[in-house]
Amino acid sequence: MIYLKTAQEIDAIRQSCRIVAEVLALVGSQVRPGVSTIELDRIAEEYIRSRGATPAFKGYGHSDDNLFPATLCTSIDAVVVHGIPGERTLKEGEIIGIDVGVKYKGFFGDAARSFRVGKVSPEKERLLNVTEESLAKGVEQAVAGNTVHDISAAVQKHVEAQRFSVVRDLTGHGVGKELHEEPAVPNFGKAGTGERLQAGMTLAIEPMVNAGTWKVRIASDGWTVLTEDGKPSAHFEHTVAITSGAAEILTQ
């Protein structure tokens, strides 16, 4: 069931999303060769808690035997999403996707951004740019009266025109009182199909774009999603609110 939010509820989500945006800016400023992903995670968790909020990912999961152990998802090169922070240090030329969720006063915000570790190859640079551009294309379609798959088709068209691929096994989603709500927001689809967008919907739009095949596999830890061919992947995400006009990007 899709839950339409009131203006007051969207304002509460906006506050959570503001913390998310601040975390991404703070952590992104620390991305450099030699820093460990667990150090980035520590910085993020300390900041979130200092704002009176809670890391949304820590302890999240569908199995009590394997709950996500960290504040951030830190996904390097061929890791698409859900990389677990650890002692691994970043190396020059890598790219890292950082995904963060926050719960504040009962409402969630969610966003991700991929960062360059020093100077990256021209192909990785192009991958990052195309993925971020595809997010903007998707957000442009997030207007009342359009459909969910108008967003999906816009992302897919832009990505595939650049000879990259969109991950099909993972999607964006609604967000609000829960971290993951209906509807699912795929990054591929036929324009004009899917749920009709209405003012009051809040969505996490998140292109996950691979340099090679769209196919992925899950590592033995049950969380880390990797490209099947080992080529790099990029991830950008915003939480947006559907309004009577252009979508409002809450995690800007």
Neighbouring residues of 250: CB distance < 8 A, sequence distance ≥ 6: 10, 13, 14, 17, 18, 109, 202, 238, 239, 240, 241
pLDDT in tens, 163-209: 999 999 999 999 999 999 999 999 999 999 999 999 999 999 999 99
Instruction: Determine the pLDDT at residue 172.
Output: 98
- Residue linked to tokens 């203006």: 7
Check whether 244 has a pLDDT greater than 90.
no
CA distance 202 to 10: 8
Of 110, 41, 107, 38, residue with least CA distance to 72: 41
Q: How confident is the model at residue 225 (pLDDT cuts 50, 70, 90)?
A: very high
pLDDT in tens, 60-96: 998 899 999 999 999 999 999 999 999 999 999 999 9
Is 1 inside any structural domain?
no
pLDDT in tens, 127-149: 999 999 999 999 999 999 999 99
CATH of the domain at 236: 3.90.230.10
Please give the single-letter amino acid code of residue 216. Answer: V
Under 8 Å between Cβ of 227 and 212 = yes
CA distance 54 to 46: 10
Q: How confident is the model at residue 215 (pLDDT cuts 50, 70, 90)?
A: very high
Is 2 inside any structural domain?
no
CA distance 206 to 138: 9
Is 182 inside any structural domain?
yes
Instruction: Determine the pLDDT at residue 217.
Output: 98
Is 61 inside any structural domain?
yes
Of 183, 179, 167, residue with least CA distance to 225: 167
Under 8 Å between Cβ of 232 and 75 = no
Give bridge partners of residue 241 from the DSSP assignment.
Answer: 202, 248
Under 8 Å between Cβ of 132 and 104 = no
- Domain region containing 164: 7-249
CB count within 10 Å of CB 6 equals 9
CA 149 to chain CA centroid, Å, is 18
Under 8 Å between Cβ of 184 and 106 = no
Is 23 inside any structural domain?
yes
Give me the mean pLDDT over the 16-37 stretch: 98
CA distance 233 to 156: 15
Number of domains composing the chain: 1
Instruction: Determine the pLDDT at residue 62.
Output: 87
Instruction: Determine the pLDDT at residue 20.
Output: 98
